Amino acid sequence: MSKKDQHARREVPTYCYQCVSGPDLLTVGVEDGVATEVQPNFDSASVHPAAGKICVKAYGLIQKTYNPHRIRTPMKRTNPKKGPDEEPGFVPISWDEALDLVAEKLNECRAKGLNDESGYPRVAASFGGGGTPTSYMGTFPAFLGAWGPIDAGFGSGQGVKCYHSEHLYGEFWHRAFTVAPDTPLCQYVLSFGGNVEASGGVCGVKRHADGRARGMKRVQLEPHLSITGACSSEWVPLRPKSDPAFLMAMIHVLLHERKWQELDLDFIRHRTSSPYLLGKFGYYMRDPETRKPLIWDAITDMPVPFDTPGIDPVLEAPFLVEHGIEEGPDGKEWVHINERCQTAWEKLVEHTEPYSPLWASHICDVPVKTIRRIAIEYLEHACIGQTIEIEGRTLPFRPVAITLGKTVNNGWGGFDCCWARTLLACLVGGLEVPGGTLGTTVRLNRPATSRQASVKPSRDGFMEYPMNPTDKENWTSRPDVRNANRTLVPLVANSPWSQALGPTHIAWMLQNATPENWPKPTLPDVWFVYRTNPVISFWDTDSIADTISRFPFTVCFAYTADETNYMADILLPECTDLESLQLIRIGGTKYFEQFWDHQGFALRQPAVQTQVDAQDFTWIATQLAKRTGLLEQYNDAINRGAAGVRLKSDVVDCSLNVDQEHSVEEIWDAVCRAASVEMSNGENQDGLDYYREHGLKVIPYEHLNWYLYPEIEDQGLRFEMPYQERLYRIGKQLANRLHESGISWWDAQLDEYEPLPVWQDFAALWERALEDNFKIDINDYPFWLVTSRSMQYAWGGNVDIQMIREVASNIAGHGGVIINTGRAGELGIANGDLIEISSPLNATRGRAILRQGVRPDTLVMIGQFDHWATPLAKTFEVPSMNKLTPMLLDLTDSTGSGADLVRAGVRLVEKAS
Amino acid sequence: MTRWGMVADLERCVGCQTCTASCKHTNATPPAVQWRKVLDLEVGAYPDVKRVFVPVGCMHCEDPPCMHVCPSTATGQRPDGIVTIDYDICIGCAYCAVACPYQARYKVNGPSFAYGGRTGMKNEARREDPARLGVAQKCTFCAERIDYGLANGLTPGIDHEATPACVNSCIADALHFGDFKDPNSNVSKLLEDHQTFRMHTELGTNPGFHYIWKRKNDADPQDEQQVAALFSSGIGSVGAAAPWLQQHWDWRAAGNFIGGGTGSGLMAAMVLGSLSTELPFLHVLIALACIGTGLFLVWLETGRPWRAPLNVFLNPKTSWMSRESMVAGALFPLALLAGWLGSKALLIIAALVAMGFLYCQARMLKASKGIPAWRQPALVRLIITTGLCEGIGLLMVIDSLSAFNYTGLPPALAILLIFRLRSWRAYHKALKVSAPDQTLRVLKILNMPFSLLGHLLPILLIASGYLFVEATPIFGAIAGACALAAGWLFKYQLITRASYNQGYAINHTPERGTGGGGPGGKPGWSTTT
């Protein structure tokens, strides 16, 4: 068609939020009511960090809309038996009937009591995609809020496939739910398994491409040459799970092989806990009067409370404290007279002495000189002493950063890596300053809209943190949800995100075996599922499928058939991306590399008519609220901000009448007006029509807000590094609580509450766990099996989109199992041969893809495939490591996380034709 | 003057395939057709290995082999350098596809939809273009966007409405479009500030697609040749970007070369044989049947067969396919007349024309720059000698079954077989340094049976015929059959089994932030020239 014709067509601005690195702002070309083309939203180029560009996944939305495999109408299961081998016998029903059936079950739950006999919520809900479903589910959160207790702990990969340690420890140490370099200024990045080019979205890709073009060096350390490894200056193929050793050796080089004067001693003394004095029981030595931790002041040559004005903290010297106290767990305290104390710094130096590059070299399978060189490069690129002016404020300039990827960040070793990374930033003064290592957003602390506003001082001079209580009076001894996140994981806090970040595999594991002194596991009476497919996306998938088949009533918001909704009772087709209406927040700083100089709102709106008998999610939520008698509470939840904006501000009231049912457009018009009011302090009330036409509305966002350091400095706080006194105490308290309840099966996890991480042989830990649990000889499984993100698929739920499949096939690894070329040759395996990959748990098959860019002891399975019910995807015959990865308590760390890692063996099945 | 072209910055490209998807949207290409795509290739061996993402597609060459070979003039070139295809003229012979060393051309014969079915989804039905069925298609540089932009005062490569969709979509700002003839254009500036290379420049195509691999500094040599020589010794490992077996010409095309070679060889053999005997009309008919069958088979392979009989003649200026067709057009009446009249003089003329036909066929293959096994110059002699061997071989077989006795044929065949064997060895030797590994593998397998059964055995039989006179006819027949079968086998293998395409290559791996880049590679090739 000619360009002239193209201009005669309609272009609809909307957004794509299929992955956590969105939203991407796009326009949809519509010809005669048919969506034909997706393009960047060039009108947003001046406000969007990647100039309005959109990721490849957004181009799949047109096929998604017209996909002939869509669920075309609400469906009801007719086969009462459930399971992968049980044909569900879905039959079409009307929306009225479907909603009545769901409401009937819900009303039964309400009548019986919102919690069951074990104290667990009768209603559960699972959402995937790292929180992205909330950008698609309209006002369903308002319905859930109106309902009451919901168990959101049946995970679909959360905790084990996210950046879990970073989520928890990152928020704890620097309000960093995820961590990113300050890429526009950074000059040296160490990426331990990070995969920003595949999962950092358009902003990440753009920022790093700009970085490379100006000479930024990035070293990629991981077992295979990923997309990000490919785009890096250097690839260091280190052994799986040896990252903590590498990082510890870097710390060793900086502390034991370089002069301390080369470090940012000013930052270390004033912005970390390094000068805090320690008592002999491992807790801070405190001033008996104020109970504040003591620091030795060089000016007065005496111990003083940490926040004494004008002091000059000392890091190292023999310290004799005349009178001090230590506070231990559960109110225990020790009084010390004339006690010789170490500083946290001295303890750190002593602690890291054994972790030399030579020591790490054997663990990482990386030459000593490489480890040492990288540590020195890191230090030399840090520009210690330099400053930069940001919006009129002078800040330290430290253009070095370390990023951690999945698996590095999950399970045992995750804590060690996060600690070492954060400490390395502190040693060069590069935490939360321009050019350095930055947090992006908060999800556990409040308010979620501002990292700065979430900073509140703790009594010890750090940031306060909303730990789940571990003291005797307040500990949640009886889990309130099935994954027991508040009971077992103090760090996971208690925000709306916390359940999904708890030990999400525990909810599944405990369905099959109840540990000692633990409430009887129960199944939820009603389970809602949206944009997730745990039968494919979690581990031990056969077992998950078996558990799900026992759920009594499962309601899936379903786009196509898939492996999880194969076991559903009701399928509800919702209007998809190009058919539905919702306003979301954009801008500010958010996951990965979403650092904007603007903030505001963007609208997702129908570009075309709904293609099947689907309904907008907001309409579904309203109908469920109405049929469960919760309309008033539901409307009230919307008014209070459940749709993303509080409808009533100090200046303008856009609230909905709580007594009546509102249409989808009425609801979002009110939200749009409230958003405009929020951005203009009431001067502007543009509603839905404005957003329909323009797609978005933004206001400036201060660049200074990218950095937390100014807030820390303004409040006179310190980063809680390097010594983990608070976690140490909490761990002891948690141990007391659990042991008082007769629970000893969490003891290994409790050992991780250390003030300074003590090295463990993580590879051996994995091997031992597999040998113990499966009674196998680990030598029969000589490979490490790992996974890697696919940019074309990650988080997208787009596995049934033909075009995505087609373009993804251009990237190696999407069709099978990546194996080192030389090693494959030794095994007589050629490119394309059918091989069997077996773990101690299970076996699967796939085509061998021979690549040079992978360690000889490592196999890689990209993405998560192995579908057997999802249309199109079930024809791929591409294996997934999820089937091979066991859920083991032995491999669960104290945060409730495990890693995508298993040992595997390989056998040739059939030569390629 | 304007020369539109692209620059791909390999330092920036992350292989996301957004350009691939965007192109599919804008140009509504069917499944498996990717006018733009990004390769994922490796250079080196573990642990010293580099992985590089390389955008490819039509290079809009200044000297495009696809255009030269096109028999219908459907492939053209605009004054601004954009290589075009006129879907209304194209006969779908796919000659351009095998001539393109960048594997940029596609041919789709029937409707094809993402999820199957007869009409596809609504968006597919809305954008379906029947004119593209059965013809060649490829990247157009989104020429209609450029033309629209220029008509509206916009600058292609700068204003998105006037810029190719892939460039607009690139999330890494790796793709750039502009006018190379304008020294102040965005792309000219990029070339000025960076070290660049172009793919397969040794093939003389002068592509309009440059790859940035390094930021320039003062110490760098400025000359493209010098820069290329710096690192271009790397050898690529096999990967997705390695050459693959071309699928455009199948057994039907092989049939054309088999029938054409044998038929025209038979015409020449008849000249040799009829020096001492009558000219049998039947033999002329057999020769023409061979050639005709070959032409019929290849006609079956065209995507637009009803256009082909006329449009195939439209480009005699540069296309050996047009020339082959024209020569065939002259050969048939001449040969028929020679046979009908029994005129040896006319037969000699017809045989010369047949030799011309055979030569056209050989040159057709040589002009296929996309297939290393075909474009090798030594193939021309081999195709001609094998055609002659097949013709004589066939005549010897016919001779043994009929009353005719062409006594001069066996020694002629023996001599020609020696020539063919030498041609084969020269061709094989030349290919060893100019063909992908898979092609060499196929030819290596072919070497022994072709050399022994197709040459040494028939020569031995012919020689034996002089020792065992009673057995001469049968020995001659077997020798002829061997020579004939070997020729057919060779051509079948050449067209359908050894025809791995050029694949892709990079002269350098790019620098990534620091490091200055490194040696390039050519996946699937163990040797390079």
| pLDDT tens digits for range B58-75 | 999 999 999 999 999 999
Report in angstroms the alpha-carbon separations of B392 from A720, B265, B292, B493.
92, 7, 18, 21
pLDDT at B218 over 90: no
Which residue of chain A comes nearest to B213, CA vs CA? Answer: A213
Measured distance CA(A730)–CA(A724) in Å, rounded: 10
User: pLDDT tens-digit profile of B415-449?
Assistant: 999 999 999 999 999 999 999 999 999 999 999 99
Report yes or no: A375 and A249 within 8 Å, Cβ to Cβ.
Answer: yes
Q: Is A35 helix (H, G, I), strand (E, B) or coil?
A: strand
Q: Identify the residue among B13, B53, B115, B140 best suited for mutation to test binding to A, counting A beta carbons within 10 A and taking the highest.
A: B115
* A792 in B contact zone (CB under 8 Å): yes
Please check whether residue A826 is in contact with residue A840, taking contact to mean a CB–CB distance below 8 angstroms: no
pLDDT(B278) > 80: no
Q: Report phi then psi at A592, rounded to 5.
A: 55, -110
Rounded CA-CA distance A184/A167 in Å is 23
Angle separating helix axes B409-431 and B378-401, nearest 10 degrees: 150
pLDDT at B233 over 50: no
When pLDDT is cut at 50, 70 and 90, the band that residue A241 belongs to is very high
Cα distances (angstroms) measured from residue A149 to each of A101, A109, A524, A872, B517: 21, 11, 12, 37, 57
pLDDT band at B220 (very low <50, low <70, confident <90, very high): low
Q: With contacts defined as CB-CB under 8 Å, which chain B residues touch A594?
A: none
Tell me the pLDDT tens digit for each residue of B386-418. 999 999 999 999 888 775 566 788 999 999 999
Interface of A with B in 868-907 (CB under 8 A): 872
Provide the percentage of residues in chain A whose pLDDT is more than 90: 93
Amino acid making up residue B209: F
How far CA A685 is from CA of A581, A584, A599, A652, B369, in Å, comes to: 19, 16, 17, 9, 65
pLDDT for the residue B526: 84
Characterize the bridge pairing of strands B4-9 and B209-215. Answer: parallel
Asked if B148 lies within 8 A of A39 by C-beta distance, the reply is no
Task: Give the model's pLDDT for residue B274.
Answer: 72
* Between residues B342 and A6, the one the model is more confident about: B342
Identify the H or E element spanning A845: strand A843-851
| pLDDT of B230 over the 50 cut | no
Q: Quick check: B25 and A230 CB within 8 A?
A: no
The residue-averaged pLDDT of B33-55 equals: 95
Q: For residue A436, with 0-12 CB atoms within 10 Å meaning exposed, 13-18 middle and 19 or more buried, which class applies?
A: buried
Residues of A within 8 A of B50 (CB-CB) are 230
Amino acid at A262: E
pLDDT given at position A510: 84
Give residue A851's pLDDT.
Answer: 94
% residues pLDDT > 70 (chain A):
99
Give the least confident one: A24-28, B62-66, B229-233: B229-233
On whether the CB atoms of residues A723 and A276 are closer than 8 A, the answer is yes
Higher-scoring residue by pLDDT: A499, B135 = B135
Its sign, for the CA torsion A428, A433, A438, A442, is positive
CA distance B479 to B454: 8
Does the interface predicted TM-score (ipTM) exceed 0.90? Answer: yes
**Measuring CA to CA, how many Å separate B176 from each of A642, B171, B389?**
44, 12, 53
- In angstroms, the separation between the Cα of residue A217 and the nearest Cα of chain B is 5
- C-alpha torsion A898→A901→A907→A910, nearest 10: 90
Closest-CA distance, B485 to chain A, in angstroms, reads: 27
Residue B225: what pLDDT? 55
Minimal Cβ distance to A66: which of B50, B122, B147 = B122
How would residue B222 be classed by pLDDT, with cut points 50, 70 and 90?
low
Confidence of residue B229 (pLDDT cuts 50, 70, 90): very low
Task: For residue B40, list chain A residues with Cβ-Cβ distance below 8 A.
Answer: 810-812
Q: Please tell me which residue of chain A has the smallest CA distance to B165.
A: A39
The answer for A 820-879 residues in CB contact with B (under 8 A) is 820-822, 831, 850-856, 872
pLDDT at B352 over 70: yes
Helices B251-273, B409-431: axis angle to 10 degrees equals 140
pLDDT in the model for residue A3: 44
Note whether A36 contacts B126, CB cutoff 8 Å.
yes
Cβ atoms A328, A729 nearer than 8 A: yes
H runs (alpha helix) in B302-431: 308-311, 320-341, 344-366, 372-375, 378-401, 409-431
**Is A853 in a helix, a strand, or coil?**
coil
* Cross-chain Cβ contact A55/B22 below 8 Å: no
Nearest to A209 among B149, B173, B511 (CB): B173
Looking at CA atoms only, how far is residue B341 from chain A in angstroms?
55
Asked if A36 has any chain B CB less than 8 Å from its own CB, the reply is: yes
Reduced to 3 states, what is the DSSP secondary structure of residue A516? coil
Mean of pLDDT values over A96-116? 98
Q: Given pLDDT bands bounded at 50, 70 and 90, which one contains residue A513? A: confident
Count of pairs with CB atoms under 8 A, one residue in A, one in B:
200
Q: Which residue of A has its CA nearest to B128?
A: A1
Who wins on pLDDT, A505 or A86? A86
pLDDT 10s digits, A135-191:
999 999 999 999 999 999 998 888 888 899 999 999 999 999 999 999 999 999 999
Q: What is the pLDDT of residues A663-715, one digit of tens each?
A: 999 999 999 999 999 999 999 999 999 999 999 999 999 999 999 999 999 99
CB A733 within 8 A of CB A476: no
The answer, yes or no, to whether residue A612 has pLDDT greater than 90, is yes
pLDDT for res A35:
97
Sort out which chain A residues have CB atoms less than 8 A from B146's CB and list them: none
Starting at the edge strand that comes first in sequence, how are the strands of the sheet with A319-327 ordered?
A277-278, A333-343, A319-327, A285-286
How far apart CA A16 and CA A50 sit, in angstroms, is 14
List the single residue in A56, A217, A856 with the smallest CB-CB distance to B514. A217
* Separation in Å, CA B499 to CA B65, B68, B373, B383: 17, 20, 6, 15
Per-residue pLDDT of A637-672, as tens digits, reads: 999 999 999 999 889 999 999 999 999 999 999 999
Computed over every residue of chain A, the mean pLDDT equals 96
Structure confidence at residue A913 (pLDDT): 80
Q: Which residues pair with A339 in a beta bridge?
A: A321
In chain A, residues 60-89 whose CB comes closer than 8 Å to chain B: 60, 62-63, 65-69
Higher pLDDT, A730 or A9: A730
What is the pLDDT averaged over residues B259-277?
A: 88
Angle at B47 between CA B13 and CA A787, to 5 degrees: 65
Identify the pLDDT of residue B276: 64
DSSP A71-95: --S-EE---S--STTS----EE--H
In A, which residues are within 8 Å of B504 by CB distance?
Answer: none
Is the pLDDT at A446 greater than 80? The verdict is yes
Interhelix angle B281-301/B344-366, rounded to 10 degrees, is 20
Query: What is the distance between the alpha carbons of residues A206 and A48, in angstroms, rounded to a whole number?
Result: 11
Strand, coil or helix: what is B239?
A: coil
Q: Yes or no: say if A359 and A238 are a contact pair by the CB < 8 Å rule.
A: no
pLDDT at A129 (0 to 100) = 81
Model pTM? 0.96
**B506-509 vs A834-838, strand pairing mode:** unpaired
Tally of CB atoms within 10 A around A837: 27
Res B240: pLDDT:
63
Q: Write the CA distances from A126 to A151, A235, A530, integer angstroms.
A: 8, 38, 7
Q: How many CA atoms lie within 13 A of A426 on its CB side?
A: 25
CB B160 to CB A42 under 8 A? Answer: yes
For an interface test with B, the pick among A10, A190, A231 (most B C-beta atoms closer than 10 Å) comes out as A231
Does the CB of A205 have a partner CB in chain B at under 8 Å?
Answer: yes
CA distances to A259, A262, B503 from B354, rounded to whole Å, are 87, 85, 34
Across chain B, mean pLDDT equals 93
In this structure, the number of other CB atoms found within 10 A of the CB of residue B514 comes to 16
CA distances from B150 to A340, A669, B143, B208 (A): 81, 41, 10, 20
Does the pLDDT of residue A345 top 60, yes or no? yes
DSSP string, B138-179: ---TTHHHHHHHHHTT--TTTSGGGS-HHHHH-TTS-EEEEE
Q: What is the pLDDT of residues B453-501, one digit of tens each?
A: 999 999 999 999 888 888 888 899 999 999 999 999 999 999 999 999 9
Please check whether residue A536 is in contact with residue A880, taking contact to mean a CB–CB distance below 8 angstroms. Answer: yes
Q: Look at residue A4 and tell me whether its pLDDT is greater than 50.
A: no
Question: CA of B252, closest CA in chain A: separation in Å?
Answer: 23
